Amino acid sequence: MLYYLVAEFSHKIYEKGLTIGNGGNVSVRSGEYMRITPKKLGFKTLGDVTPYEIIRVPIDDPRHPKASSESFMHAEIYKRTERKAIIHAHPPIACSRLHKGESFKVPDYEGKYHEVPVVPYYPPGSLELAKAVAEAMDEKGVVLMLYHGVVTAGENLREALIKLELVELGARV
């Protein structure tokens, strides 16, 4: 079940230390809809999300009072690409670089380092950020957001999670 899958990967991301505090959101596409993590409530983190809290929203109109504040970003990527799974996170080492205004190269599965798209700062949750990230998303499936965090996308959540780990590795180099 997609609700369980989104919750399971939310827990993995939090437990691996790939997002800090209550930042980050996770989604998968299924036809015209996506399943996405909920808006943060109080001190809840991705590590606390239950399958029952995952929200199903149309990709065409992702506004929902309980859906993640970055729902527009996930929806815009699904509209413009064939990607089926997206993770947005605030990995600590990557963020420490991005918050200094630095970008960095990211390794692929073979350990070769590549430039990846970088977007300037836009307010979190804004349509401007959503459009900038979706336009920047290329075949590598990784976008760095200056002064904010990281978005990875793939065929499935496993691929998006591996990319997130590779981003954090790239930020250390």
**Footprint of Zn ion (CB under 5 A):** 149
CB closer to Zn ion out of 46 and 157: 46
**Integer Cα distance of 54 and 3 in angstroms:** 6
Question: Nearest to Zn ion by Cβ — which residue?
Answer: 149
Least separation in angstroms between residue 32's CB and Zn ion is 25
Least separation in angstroms between residue 164's CB and Zn ion is 13
> Quick one: which of 18, 19, 17, 56 has its CA closest to 37?
56
The b/e string for 105-133 (b: 16+ C-beta within 10 A; e otherwise) is ebeeeeeeeeebbbbeebeeeeeebbbbb
CB closer to Zn ion out of 104 and 122: 122
Least separation in angstroms between residue 56's CB and Zn ion is 21
Least separation in angstroms between residue 69's CB and Zn ion is 8
Q: How many contiguous H segments (helices) and E segments (strands) does the chain have?
A: 5, 9
CB closer to Zn ion out of 141 and 149: 149
CB closer to Zn ion out of 21 and 58: 21
**Integer Cα distance of 154 and 160 in angstroms:** 5
